[in-house]
Amino acid sequence: MTKLITIKDLNFQYAKNAPLLSNFSLDLEAGHIYGLLGKNGEGKSTLLKLISGLVFAQGGSIDVMGFKPQLRHPSMLQDIYFLPEDLYQTSLSIEKYEQAYAPYYPHFNANQFNQLLTEFEIDSKKASLSKLSHGQKKKVMIAFGLATNTKLLLLDEPTNGLDIPSKAQFRRMVASAMNRERCLIISTHQVRDLDGLIDNITIMDHHKISFNETVEDIKKKLTFKLGNRTDTDESIIYTEETIQGFCQVKKNLTGEETKVDIELLFNALMTNKIRIQALFSKHDN
Amino acid sequence: MNQSINPNKILLQLKQYFLENQEKEIMYWGIMTLIFTLMHQDGTFLFILSISGLIFSARQFKAFGHTPSGIHYLMIPATQTEKIITAVLLNTVYYFTMSVVAYGIGNLLGSTLFNNMMSTQAEISWSLFTGERHQIWSVLISFVSTQAIYMLGSLIFTKHPVRKTILTIIAVMVSLYIIEYFVFQLVFGNETKLTNLLPFFSEKFADADDSFFKVLTPIMESALAVVLWIVSYFRLAEKEV
**Domain ranges for chain A:** 3-206, 214-281
Whether A19 has a pLDDT exceeding 60, the answer reads: yes
What's the start-to-end Cα distance of chain B, in Å?
19
Q: Which of A85, A90, A47, A95 shows the shortest CA–CA distance to A162?
A: A85
Residue B41's contacts (CB-CB under 8 Å, 6 or more residues apart) are none
Distances (CA, A) of B229 to B59, B64, B155: 16, 18, 11
The DSSP result for B4-26, as a single string, is ---HHHHHHHHHHHHHHHHHHHH
Q: Which residues of B touch A86 (CB under 8 A)?
A: 67-68
Q: 3-state DSSP call for residue A186?
A: strand
Shortest CB distance from A86 goes to which of B2, B19, B68? Answer: B68
Q: Closest approach of chain A CAs to the CA of B148, in angstroms?
A: 23
Distances (CA, A) of A264 to A34, A112, B193: 17, 36, 80
Enter the ipTM. 0.90
* Cross-chain residue pair A74–B71, CB shorter than 8 Å: no
Residue B126's contacts (CB-CB under 8 Å, 6 or more residues apart) are B104, B107
Q: Which residue out of B11, B71, B83, B239 would a mutagenesis test of the A interface target, given it has the greatest number of A Cβ atoms within 10 Å?
A: B71
The single-letter code of the amino acid at A33 is I
Shortest CB distance from B77 goes to which of A78, A90, A91? Answer: A78
Q: Report pLDDT digits (tens) over A191-202.
A: 888 888 999 999
Task: Give the pLDDT score at A208.
Answer: 87
The DSSP result for A220-282, as a single string, is HHEEEEEE-TT---TTEEEEEEETTEEEEEEE--S-------HHHHHHHHHHSHHHHHHHHH-
CA distance A110 to A209: 37
Q: Report pLDDT digits (tens) over A65-106.
A: 999 999 999 999 999 999 999 999 998 999 999 999 999 999
pTM across the whole model: 0.87
Q: Which residues of A touch B1 (CB under 8 A)?
A: 71
Q: Which residues of B touch A15 (CB under 8 A)?
A: none
What's the start-to-end Cα distance of chain A, in Å?
23
Q: Which residue out of B75, B84, B234 would a mutagenesis test of the A interface target, given it has the greatest number of A Cβ atoms within 10 Å?
A: B75
Task: Give the pLDDT score at B139.
Answer: 79
Whether residue A266 contacts residue A203, with contact meaning beta carbons closer than 8 Å, is answered with: yes
Across the beta sheet with A236-242, the strand order is A222-227, A245-251, A236-242
The single-letter code of the amino acid at B187 is V
Length of chain B: 241
Q: Closest approach of chain B CAs to the CA of A84, in angstroms?
A: 7
Task: Give the pLDDT score at A203.
Answer: 94
Residue A273's contacts (CB-CB under 8 Å, 6 or more residues apart) are A205, A210
Mean per-residue pLDDT for B223-229?
Answer: 91
Q: Report pLDDT digits (tens) over A212-265.
A: 999 999 999 999 988 887 777 888 889 988 888 889 999 988 888 899 999 999
Look up the CATH superfamily of A3-206: P-loop containing nucleotide triphosphate hydrolases (3.40.50.300)
Residue B39's contacts (CB-CB under 8 Å, 6 or more residues apart) are B48, B110
Whether B182 has a pLDDT exceeding 90, the answer reads: no
* Cross-chain residue pair A74–B23, CB shorter than 8 Å: no
Q: Where are the beta strands (DSSP E) in chain A?
A: 3-15, 18-29, 32-38, 59-64, 80-83, 152-156, 183-187, 200-205, 208-214, 222-227, 236-242, 245-251
Arithmetic mean of pLDDT over chain A? 91
B5 versus B191: which is more confidently predicted?
Answer: B5
Whether residue A68 contacts residue A75, with contact meaning beta carbons closer than 8 Å, is answered with: no
Q: 3-state DSSP call for residue A121?
A: coil
CA distance A183 to A201: 13
Q: Report pLDDT digits (tens) over B9-47.
A: 999 999 999 999 999 999 999 999 999 888 877 677 888
Residue A111's contacts (CB-CB under 8 Å, 6 or more residues apart) are none
Q: Closest approach of chain A CAs to the CA of B79, in angstroms?
A: 6
